[in-house]
């Protein structure tokens, strides 16, 4: 519930900021003129950092008998943290598995930074250890880093 409330608070703050920004732009346009306003807007946009990364298909090709599964680590009203792992079905493989963390849902005002994701299979049981930081943000500014660790086992079907 806290994730949902924090996300809604962040969205409200963003709308309030945009209203202030458009009011300031109108005032700037009136006082400084069109050319100065355009240069000002370009300067503001130059400070915005961000990248769009789609690493869902990170080049890994499933081999014969390999299966992708998900295990829920944290389940809130509007936010889910899942462990995704790949293993070979119908074998007695033991060792480390390929895995990654998936974050889904309404992720406004908070985010997850994985530090260590370790999954190992032995005798049909997966042992996992996931550590990371849950970041609490306000308008993109990190206010608090909350360390989290998830340990457990998953019995294969």
Kindly state whether residues 40 and 99 are assigned to the same domain.
Answer: no
Which residues sit opposite 132 in a β-bridge? Answer: 114, 148
Kindly state whether residues 76 and 110 are assigned to the same domain.
Answer: yes
Identify the pLDDT of residue 49: 57
Going from the C-alpha of 36 to that of each of 21, 29, 139, the distances in angstroms are 16, 8, 26
- In a domain, residue 60? The reply is no
Residue 132, judged by CB atoms within 10 A of its CB (0-12, 13-18, 19+), counts as buried
Is the CA virtual torsion 121, 97, 56, 46 positive or negative? positive
State how many domains the chain has. Answer: 2
Kindly state whether residues 14 and 85 are assigned to the same domain.
Answer: no
Domain encompassing residue 42: 2-46
Residue 116, judged by CB atoms within 10 A of its CB (0-12, 13-18, 19+), counts as exposed
Residue 130, judged by CB atoms within 10 A of its CB (0-12, 13-18, 19+), counts as buried
Identify the pLDDT of residue 55: 47
Q: What is the 3-state secondary structure (H, E, C) of 44-96?
A: HHHCCCCCCCCCCCCCCCCCCCEEEEEEEEEECCCEEEEEEEEEECCCCCCEE
Identify the pLDDT of residue 51: 43
pTM, two decimals, is 0.66
Contact indicator for 131, 152 with CB cutoff of 8 Å: no
Residue 89 confidence class, pLDDT cut points 50, 70, 90: confident
- Give the model confidence (pLDDT) of 25-65 as tens digits: 899 889 989 998 888 888 777 666 554 444 444 556 777 77
Closest CA to 156 of 62, 82, 74, 93: 93
- Give the model confidence (pLDDT) of 93-138 as tens digits: 777 888 889 888 888 888 888 898 899 988 888 899 999 999 988 8
């Amino acid at each position: 519930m806290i994730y949902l409330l924090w996300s809604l608070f962040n969205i409200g703050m963003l709308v309030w900021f945009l209203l202030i920004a458009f009011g300031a732009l109108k005032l700037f346009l009136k006082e400084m003129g069109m050319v100065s306003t355009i240069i000002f807007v370009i300067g503001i946009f130059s400070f915005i950092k961000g990248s769009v990364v789609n690493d869902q298909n990170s080049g890994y090709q499933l081999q014969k008998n390999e299966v992708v599964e998900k295990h829920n680590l944290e389940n809130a009203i509007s936010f889910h943290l899942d462990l995704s792992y790949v293993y070979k079905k119908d074998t007695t493989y033991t060792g480390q598995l390929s895995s990654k963390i998936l974050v889904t849902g309404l992720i406004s005002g908070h985010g997850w930074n994985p530090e260590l994701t370790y999954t190992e299979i032995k005798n049909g049981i997966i042992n996992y250890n996931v550590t990371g930081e849950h970041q609490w943000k306000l308008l993109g500014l990190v206010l608090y880093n909350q360390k989290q660790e998830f340990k457990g086992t998953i019995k294969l079907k």
